[in-house]
Structure formats: structure tokens, C-alpha cells
Amino acid sequence: MKVKIYQVNPMADTLGVKFLGLKEIRDALQSSIRSAQISSRIYDEVYSGDVDCHSLEDIYTLFNTNPPPFFKGHSLSVSDILQTDDGFFFCDRVGFEQVKFKPEKAHKPDNLLRVVALEPGKPAYEAEIVDDFRAFQQAVGGYFEVAYPFMDNAVLVANEEGLINGMEANRVIHDNLYVGPLFIIGDSDDGNFKSLTGKQVQQYLAEFQSPELFEQQDADEDMDSGMTGMNGM
């Protein structure tokens, strides 16, 4: 299921509606002589991607127990808005209510970088990550390091302790096993990270579209052999 998640930005929340239920928000808006319509402008887009969910309740559970690597928000809560193919849904105190929402007016961070994400057992997908050390750590589930298995300026970012911590096998690239969540990102000439080009995104989506399935015994043997091929960071 494709989903986007929006959360109230406290800096834009002049009426203090974050974490309020829908009726409470509408009452606050009406008492301030404003439209009862929720303002899309006070929301940040904190996630956009595909999730293995079949209902709004599934999404709520996922983002409160095991959120995807590129989720940029807090645990799903009251006042959040979920976007699916069926529309926009307000996370209320009990259940969800469909609402009107203008996603083009919501805010996205200015320093987002375009990447290709690789999760164990899943097809590659396009994602965005904030150009920030902590965001990289969150995406790979711990301290990160960089590998250089590609012929262009793209690099692979992974958890530097993935093998030690027994993370799930992900992909074998040029005979090197990589474990845990990974992402492919551009490397600029000055040593900083940058967005992948559109051509690179399509190239790596196609190359890694089919997830690799590992027998646990085979994966354990590969991990014991230390097949990481990484340069530390």
C-alpha cells in the first residue's frame, strides 16, 4: 500500500491543535473565527513510501511498533493525517475520519536527498532522506558506514555493526553480503552526499527490484565469512 503521513509542525501550530482530536480542533478553529477546515499549511510530510499494510489500522500499528527506515516523524498519534489511494484520513482519538487536505500546501524539509532504499526481502524503492547524520543512522538502524560497490558516483550506506548484531541478510553485490536496511545515494566530488539522478534511480530500482531470499544457514555462513566489502565512516 502506498502511503504518505503528515504531522503537525509545532512551529506552525499557532492554535495548539497538535495531538487534539478532530472535534477539538474544529471547536478551536471556530472559536477563533476561522474556517473549521484543517489547515494543510501547518503539517509536515514525514513519510512517503510503500508499506506492507492492508488497512489504516495496520498502518497505525506499523508506525508505532516498527516504523520504516525513512520515517521522519514521531510515533503515529492523534492529529496525524494519513494519505492512501482512498483519500486523506485524520487519526482521531478513536479510529480515523476522512477529511479534506491539500498536500501541496504541506511542508517538506529543504535538504532532502533522493535515494534508492533496499530492505531485506523487499523490492528496491525510491525514498528521500534528510541530509543529516542522525537521519542516516535512523535509516540503517545504528551507526552507518559507506561502501563503494558501484562504477559511478553512487555509494551504499549500511549499518557498520550489522554483521555483529546479526541483522537480516539483504543483498549480495559483487560477492559481498550486505545486511540490514541499506540505501544508495550519490557521492559528490567534495566528499558530501547528494541526490541520485533520475537515471541512477531508474537504474538501481531495476537492478535491485527482485529481493534476494536467503536460507538462514547460507546467510549465517556468509556472515561468518565477513563478506562486507565496506569502508568505515
- Decide if 194 contacts 186 (C-beta within 8 A): yes
Rounded CA separation 202/210 (Å): 14
Rounded CA separation 66/117 (Å): 16
Return the H-helix or E-strand segment holding 45. Answer: strand 43-50
The C-alpha angle 157, 6, 13, rounded to 5 degrees, equals 120
Return the H-helix or E-strand segment holding 28. Answer: helix 22-31
pTM equals 0.80
Print pLDDT tens along the chain (233 aa): 999 999 999 999 988 999 999 999 888 887 775 555 789 999 999 998 888 899 999 999 999 999 998 999 999 999 999 999 999 999 999 999 999 999 999 998 888 999 999 999 999 999 999 999 999 999 999 999 999 999 999 999 999 999 999 999 999 999 999 999 999 999 998 889 999 999 999 999 999 999 887 765 455 555 555 544 454 44
